[in-house]
Structure formats: C-alpha cells, structure tokens
C-alpha cells in the first residue's frame, strides 16, 4: 500500500430517470445498504482520509445522507458531464496533496482489493490509473485503448469511437485515480467538443499522454463493476452480490442446502458449521455462531444466534433478539429485543418482546409478552427453569420467578415468586342442555326470516 494520502470523490449527481422513482438513485439499496453507503464504505476500506460526494440539486437527500455519514459534499448544478462533476469537488479538497480516486454511487459492488490495485498502479509510476473490464457485449461502453507496450493510450467514448476502436473489448468502468494536483490541472484543459457536449473525465488519459505521462489500465471482473441505471440493473446487482455472498459462506464452512434461496445482507456474519435450510432471509445486523441451525422460511434481522441454537422453521428474529447457546425458537415464533438464555425454548406460536428469558425456561404455545400499553414498552423477566403454560399472556412489567409455572390460558398481571404456580382464569361452568336449546331457537328464527 502506498504511503501517500488518499481521497475519494464519489459521483452521485445523476438524475437516474430510468429508475422511475421519487427516491434518488444512489439511495436505492443492494443487500440492505444504499448504493451511496456502499461507495462510502469502499472509500473507508481503502483508507481514504477525505471523501467528497458530488450531488445534484434534484436530490438534497443524497447530500443529507452523505454528510450524516461524515463525508463532505459538493453541488453539481447543472450537470455537464463527469469531468465537470469532479471539478466541483476541488474546493472541498482544497490543498489536499495525495492521490484521488473517482468512484460512483451507482456502482456498488467494487471490492477494496480492486481499488488497491488501482492505487498500486500509481505507486508503480503511472500518472493515471483506470479500472477496466471485459463485458460479453461492450455496446455503449467507452473503450480503453492500449498501446503496444501494454500502457493505456486513451479512453474513447463509444459514440465518438471509430469502427476499429469499437472492436476493442476492454471497457471503461469510470473509476479513475490520479494525483490530486495533476487531476485538477488537467481538468482545466478538458473541453466539451464531443458528441454529447459534455466535459468527459475520460479525456484526462489523453491529456496526460499528450504530456508524455504514463497511464495504466487495471482489470476487474465485469460483475464487480456492474452499474445500476434501472430496476432491472438493481436486481442484477442484488443477484451478483447474493451469488458472491453465498459462495463465500460455503467456502468458509457454512452449509447452504439450497443456496439460491438464501438471501444475505451486506453485513451478515455466519460462522463455520452453521446449517442454513432453504428460503431463509437475513436482514441487516445478523450474526450466527458456529453450530447453529437456521431452518427453512425464517427471517432474521438485527439478531445474534449462538452455537447449538435452532431457529425455525417459519421463525422471525427481530432487532435486539439474542439466543444464547442451545436456545430454540420454533415455528411461528417472533422474538424482538429479547434474550433467551442457554437452553431456553419457545417451540411454537409465541411472541416474545422486550423480555429476558432464563436458562432452560420453557415457553408454551400461544404465549405472548404483552409489552406495549399504547404509549410505552415494558419488560418481562422469566426466570431460569420457569414453565409458561400454553396460551399465557404475560402483561408487562412482570416477573416470573425461577422454577415458577403458569397455568395454561392464564393472564399474568402480577409477579410470580420462585417455584410458585400462578393461575389466572375464569372458573369453568357447564350449562346442561344450553347448546341444544340455542340451536333450536336459532333454527326457528332463521326459518321465520326465510318465510318472510
């Protein structure tokens, strides 16, 4: 890694009309993270000490989100091409003396190691380093024209390219790195004398070569530099991320029974020897430790699952859920902001929210913690070894002591001492013959209505 300081300029000023959305294109998400945040995270990963997001006047939300993430911002209004966009960041960078990379807020899947190679090319003597790729169909991509020695000679936009240049398959991703002083000096020489009437960032290569300065193309996989301009592209980028995440998980020792049906978030952490059954979705903020099993059709978000746990099938873990070693959450159980102790079980049809459940406690089917009074949330504490009878309602705030039990169908409103039995339900009454009399009366009423 070069010792020179680094900065990143992230271009996010495009209108994104093909998205057909009221939301700015950079704020659309891949794997639970906005594309803008993907780019900012990439800049952080390569140790960029300065980050400037170039935004458009049509999308103040982009500016707000960038600044909330600690980036500086620069307005491009009106848009006049990528070269013009980068120029808008010059004032924000001020006297920055280091290498600058230009990234894009609609290209979310570039890996840090790829960007490192772009910077490495500068460290190896190139004045300009450009990230290229070889797509199956080059189409409208700009072409990277290399010379006989393997150096980069020019970038030619497809609409300005000759027939011979269009035969080149090495294409421009848009990502480019240069020393800051040289970048802004050459941008001052860029003109808009081209088919689009715009100021092209790509002209920097030709201008550098005109001074006899070397340029270099670094190659990336086509999937890595996939740009998003439409909902179709968004789905393609999501699919590319998921394919990468599934492959990585299996390489690291995770069993995916039906990989194509499992969906990960950008920050999902799954340790080795975890088994994930079909149709499982991981939202942001999930960690699953070695030896756990996530069964089919479960949804996890903001949750931590320890070793030896079993989740599902058809379970939902919401933010703040934590399952300690050996805990079990079964079918149609929802857990939110609650900790289940070691070996605790809620096997089916329960809601556990704002609660602490002790080790080896057993939560019967149909149990709910009534945690919300319409204004505030309240806590339920269930002691170790407690047994909660089926269809119990625990009205928080309430505590169930260690080893205590609740009778099935009880509504528990007061705390229960250790090892006590709490029963709170109406006494059963049997009214002999009532059902038969009711049927006769209702049948007669129905007949009368029909006869009218």
Catalytic residues, which ones? 348
- Site of tokens 């891949």: 30
Q: Is-cis flag, bond preceding 313, omega within 30?
A: yes
The strand pairing partners of 304, in sequence order, are 287, 322
For every residue of 91-112, DSSP letters joined together read HHHTT--SEEEEEETT-TT--H
Strands 152-156 and 269-270: unpaired
φ/ψ of residue 284, rounded to 5:
-60, 150
Residue 402 DSSP SS3: coil
Torsion from C-alpha of 293, 297, 302, 308, nearest 10 degrees:
-10
Give counts: helices (H), strands (E), the chain.
10, 33
User: Are residues 223 and 239 in contact, defined by beta-carbon separation less than 8 angstroms?
Assistant: no
User: DSSP code of 428?
Assistant: P
């Amino acid at each position: 890694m070069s010792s020179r300081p680094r900065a990143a300029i992230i271009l996010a000023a495009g209108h994104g009309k093909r998205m057909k959305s009221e939301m700015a294109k950079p704020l659309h998400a891949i794997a639970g993270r906005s594309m803008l945040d993907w780019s900012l995270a990439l800049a952080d990963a390569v140790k960029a000490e300065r980050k400037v997001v170039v935004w458009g006047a049509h999308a103040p939300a982009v500016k707000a989100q960038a600044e909330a993430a600690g980036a500086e911002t620069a307005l491009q209004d009106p848009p006049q091409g990528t070269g013009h966009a980068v120029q808008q960041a010059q004032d924000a960078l001020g006297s920055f003396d280091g290498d600058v990379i230009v990234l894009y807020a609609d290209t979310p899947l570039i890996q840090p190691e790829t960007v490192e190679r772009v910077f490495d090319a500068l460290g190896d003597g190139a004045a300009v380093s450009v990230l290229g790729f070889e797509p199956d169909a080059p189409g409208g991509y700009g072409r990277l024209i290399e010379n006989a020695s393997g150096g980069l000679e020019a970038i030619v936009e497809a609409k300005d390219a000759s027939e011979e240049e269009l035969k080149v398959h090495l294409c421009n991703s848009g990502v480019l790195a240069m020393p800051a002083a040289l970048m802004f000096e050459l941008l001052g020489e860029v003109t808009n004398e081209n088919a689009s009437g715009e100021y092209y960032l790509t002209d920097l290569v030709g201008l550098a070569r005109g001074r006899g300065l070397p340029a270099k193309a670094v190659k990336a996989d086509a999937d890595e530099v996939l740009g998003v301009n439409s909902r179709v592209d968004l789905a393609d980028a999501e699919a590319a991320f998921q394919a990468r995440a599934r492959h990585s998980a299996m390489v690291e020792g995770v069993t995916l029974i039906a990989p194509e049906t499992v969906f990960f978030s950008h920050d999902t952490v799954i340790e080795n020897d975890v088994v994930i059954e079909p149709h499982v979705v991981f939202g942001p903020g999930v960690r699953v430790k070695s030896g756990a099993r996530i069964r089919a059709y479960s949804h996890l978000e903001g949750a931590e699952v320890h070793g030896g746990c079993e989740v599902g099938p058809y379970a939902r873990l919401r933010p703040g859920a934590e399952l300690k070693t050996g805990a079990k959450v079964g079918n149609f159980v929802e857990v939110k902001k609650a900790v289940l102790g070691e070996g605790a079980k809620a096997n089916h049809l329960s809601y556990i929210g704002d609660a602490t459940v002790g080790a080896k406690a057993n939560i019967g089917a149909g149990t709910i913690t009534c945690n919300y009074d319409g204004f505030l949330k309240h806590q339920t504490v269930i002691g170790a070894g407690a047994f909660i009878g089926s269809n119990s309602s625990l009205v928080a705030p309430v505590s169930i002591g260690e080893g205590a039990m609740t009778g099935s169908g009880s509504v528990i409103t007061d705390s229960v001492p250790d090892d006590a039995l709490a029963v709170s339900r109406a006494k059963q009454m049997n009214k002999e013959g009532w059902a038969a009399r009711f049927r006769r009366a209702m049948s007669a009423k129905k007949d009368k209505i029909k006869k009218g």
